[in-house]
Amino acid sequence: MKAVADKKMKKRKLRILIAYNDPADAGAGDLDYISEVAVKDEADIVYDTLLEMGHSPALMPVSGIEKCIAETAEFTPDMIFNLCEGFHGKSKHEMHIAGLWELLGIPYSGNRPITLGISQDKILAKNIFNANGIPTPDYEVFEKVPGKTRLGYPVFAKPSSEDASLGINQNSVIYDIGSLKKTVDSLLSKYGEPVLVEKYIEGREFNVSILGNRNPKVLPISEIDFSGLDEGTPKITGYEAKWLTDHPFYRKTPSVCPAKISSGLRRNLEAVALRVYGLLKGKDYGRVDFRVDSGENIHVLEFNPNPDISPDAGFVKAVIASGMDYGDFLKIVIRENTGF
């Protein structure tokens, strides 16, 4: 009888609140707004899938803390599916929203506040990588327009505390001091935070997705296919390539999963990705981005906690390539957080 009862408990219908940042708070006058709008599409897919799985989901755009707390208390969720990537259009608050679920004592999907905060602070993350022998491109940090760089060209410039490739475009790859000054000045003016300038690694780009907690699993590795780009065009995936579906860079930089790589490179990427995931205390799911040079030397660019889980996103492509479907992925995340 106990076994039957346990089986019924495993099939329990859960009340799951899907929290996401309200796109209306981001400001539609900027192209950066597009990545914010995509979160609503992501939330809708999670909602529909949970409904098909027999659960009782509800959508909650997070635009005010008091309202959010009241709605959460009224719904009494067994779990929160946390898709919030910021608050009022500011990605630096992503960690604080996860902290809210912590304070409320409600199980939630995705990474913890400390992981979100460290990962978003790219300078801090790179310091941690260096301290633990994880290969990452050499870098400098500029809080004002520089007069020179010790790195040697080409270099790669980006905001130090943004996600979703904000501030990254073809001008991010820099070949001379004049361009460096112009790009750093533009980034400082727009984002109001230090600029991270790295040694640009010419070569291939890989995304290594990881799923799970106690025994995290590396999913099939994805590679960005740059073969469609014109000769002389920097081989990178900037904001346009990730979010602007009508842009040539989006169409010409598809991801290929599983990537066609040697077994040695695969093992190396998997091992380092798991080290990064463990070091930054990854939870539920995440993605480690790499560049690999012609000698198959790997370089960790960053850890992306709570990556996009829309059906056409790279993370879900890796899920599908592993033999699972979208529902299987959600089941794993739910089980990790509720036991059901």
Q: What is the CATH number of the domain that holds 324?
A: 3.30.470.20
The pLDDT value recorded for residue 14 is 98
Residues 333 and 262 in one domain: yes
Give CB contacts under 8 A, 24+ apart, made by 291-295: 291/137, 291/201, 291/203, 291/204, 291/205, 291/206, 292/201, 292/203, 292/204, 292/205, 292/206, 292/265, 293/201, 293/202, 293/203, 294/202, 294/203
User: Does residue 320 lie in a domain region?
Assistant: yes
Residues 74 and 191 in one domain: no
Which residue has tokens 């539609």?
28
Task: Measure Cα distances from 81 to 29, 58, 70, 158, 205 in Å.
Answer: 29, 10, 17, 30, 30
Is 63 within 8 Å of 39 (Cβ atoms)? no
Task: Transcribe 185-203 into DSSP letters.
Answer: HHHHHHH-SPEEEEE---S
The pLDDT value recorded for residue 166 is 83
Q: How far apart are CA 121 and CA 124, in angstroms?
A: 5
Q: How far apart are CA 224 and CA 163, in angstroms?
A: 18
Residues 159 and 194 in one domain: yes
The pLDDT value recorded for residue 297 is 97
The pLDDT value recorded for residue 251 is 80
- Measured in whole angstroms, how far is the alpha carbon of residue 321 from the centre of its chain? 19
User: Does residue 237 lie in a domain region?
Assistant: yes
- Measured in whole angstroms, how far is the alpha carbon of residue 145 from the centre of its chain? 28
Is 170 within 8 Å of 162 (Cβ atoms)? no
Q: How far apart are CA 30 and CA 166, in angstroms?
A: 11
Please measure the distance between the N-terminal and C-terminal CA atoms of the chain and give it in whole angstroms: 19
Residues 81 and 229 in one domain: no
Residues 286 and 304 in one domain: yes
Structure tokens at 77: 């969720």
User: Does residue 292 lie in a domain region?
Assistant: yes
The pLDDT value recorded for residue 37 is 65
User: Does residue 113 lie in a domain region?
Assistant: no
Residues 241 and 284 in one domain: yes
pTM of the model: 0.91
Residues 182 and 227 in one domain: no
User: Does residue 114 lie in a domain region?
Assistant: no
Q: 266-308 pLDDT, tens per residue? A: 999 999 999 999 999 999 999 999 999 999 999 999 999 999 9
Residues 19 and 70 in one domain: yes
Say what the alpha-carbon torsion angle 284, 125, 159, 177 is, to the nearest 10 degrees: -140
Residues 273 and 180 in one domain: no
Residue at which a domain ends, from 199, 230, 245:
199
The pLDDT value recorded for residue 337 is 97
Q: 214-258 pLDDT, tens per residue? A: 899 999 999 999 988 888 888 888 766 566 667 767 787 889 999
Residues 257 and 322 in one domain: yes
Domain of 165?
Answer: 138-199
User: Does residue 325 lie in a domain region?
Assistant: yes
pLDDT lower than 70: segments of the chain: 1-11, 23-37, 164, 239-245, 248
Residues 190 and 222 in one domain: no
Residue at which a domain ends, from 199, 217, 236:
199
User: Does residue 15 lie in a domain region?
Assistant: yes
Name the CA radius of gyration of the chain, rounded: 20
Q: What is the CATH number of the domain that holds 176?
A: 3.30.1490.20
Which residue has tokens 């019924």?
8
Residue 106: CB atoms within 10 A of its CB come to 17
> What φ, ψ does residue 48 adopt, rounded to 5°?
-60, -40
Residues 261 and 282 in one domain: yes
Number of folded domains that form the chain: 3
The pLDDT value recorded for residue 26 is 55
Is 91 within 8 Å of 85 (Cβ atoms)? yes
User: Does residue 258 lie in a domain region?
Assistant: yes
For β-strands 195-199 and 139-142, DSSP reports them as antiparallel
Task: Transcribe 95-140 into DSSP letters.
Answer: HHHHHHHHHHT--BSS--HHHHHHHH-HHHHHHHHHHTT-----EE
